[in-house]
Amino acid sequence: MSKRVFNFCAGPAALPEAVLLRAQAELLDWQGKGLSVMEMSHRSDEFTGIAETAEHDLRDLLSIPDNYKVLFLQGGASQQFAQVPLNLLPEEGIADYLDTGIWSRKAIDEARRFGNVNVAASAKPYDYFAIPGQNEWQLSKNAAYVHYASNETIGGLEFGWIPEVGDVPLVADMSSDILSRPIDISKFGLIYAGAQKNIGPSGLVVTIVREDLLGRARSSCPTMLDYKVAADNGSMYNTPPTWSWYLAGLVFAWLKEQGGVEAIGRINQLKQRKLYDFIDASGLYSNPIAKNDRSWMNVPFRLADEKLDKPFLAGAEVRGLLNLKGHRSVGGMRASIYNAVGMDAVDALLGYMAEFEKEHG
């Protein structure tokens, strides 16, 4: 494995090496069956076992209560921007949304295609460098749900707390920070997460939905997008993304082997603290996000002189530190340090950043 690099991509992101090796070993012959998981019938006993084990392990990792359904769906989180209002927003109803960055704004724009949206709070007055406190929010009295993105991968803004919205269902896009630390699932009506960051490869989205929210889809909602149809059919109304589901299951098993979300959360806390502490003490690098709202998973930073961006990235690539270029909408750099990005990767990055600062600072 000498050719493996340190991959800081925001998504599709790094996968645990142990997971890739196991998938490689089972690629042509899964557990002596003489065929690949990609070739199995999704109705077979073999794949049913894979699916059931994956769900069991995810429930175990997140302590998901029994009154929640776990769905393994297609389309990614962006499809959920439409699927959520089609299932939860009555045609004459209103939904509250929080605007903390690009992904939450995309969700807002999509929801407006299906009904009334109240932007209850926005980070825009803070240049998207801080999350407005709940005392600033203007929540509706009769909202069908409250939606927020728990972590903005592009801007590096993350909720370190769960909003309090009373009896109104709380809906969260947790695509980039699910499984990064423990969370109380019972606080939410629905959680969705694209797989390609902390769960597995792209093409899969995991949705965790409280049972009482099923059966509310509009009559115009396509059958494939109805959460109840998915739940009633065990996420197999049609042929699911079997390979992605299988790999997600391997990631869940790997995470349990690491000690679960409690253990990985402690590691993630150390990783992000190490990186932010270095940036804050530096004269060359900077991060503009309010300290209480900094993302654990996506760490954006800028160099004091933009002319140094290209040589920084070139030097990083030579050292096997890949995908550090920031999103085109914000520029600068971004290190995504999901669960599969170990402390050795962070240490290698910090070593290079110190070396580069010594030469160019």
Q: Are the C-beta atoms of residues 30 and 242 closer than 8 Å to each other? A: no
Q: 3-state class of 273 per DSSP?
A: helix
Cα dihedral across residues 109, 110, 111, 113: positive or negative: positive
What is the C-alpha to C-alpha distance for residues 84 and 222, in angstroms, rounded to an integer? 12
Amino acid letter at 112? Answer: R
The residue annotated as part of the active site, out of 197, 245, 254, 296, is 197
Enter the tokens of residue 22: 């196991």
Phi, psi for 273 (deg, rounded to 5): -65, -40
Going from the C-alpha of 116 to that of each of 107, 141, 307, the distances in angstroms are 13, 14, 45
The residue annotated as part of the active site, out of 57, 69, 103, 245, is 103
Residue 173 appears among annotated catalytic residues: yes
The DSSP letter of residue 65 is -
CB atoms within 10 A of CB 59: 17
CB atoms within 10 A of CB 94: 16
The alpha carbon of 161 is separated from its chain's Cα centroid by a whole number of angstroms, namely 16
The residue annotated as part of the active site, out of 96, 173, 226, 293, is 173
**To which residue do tokens 């960055």 refer?**
101
Residue 127 appears among annotated catalytic residues: no
Enter the tokens of residue 117: 């949206």
Q: Is 234 exposed, middle or buried (0-12, 13-18, 19+ CB in 10 A)?
A: middle
Residue 103 appears among annotated catalytic residues: yes
122-153 CB burial, b ≥16 within 10 A, e <16:
bbeeeebebbbeeeebebbeebbbbbbbbbbb
CB atoms within 10 A of CB 79: 17
Catalytic residues: 103, 173, 197
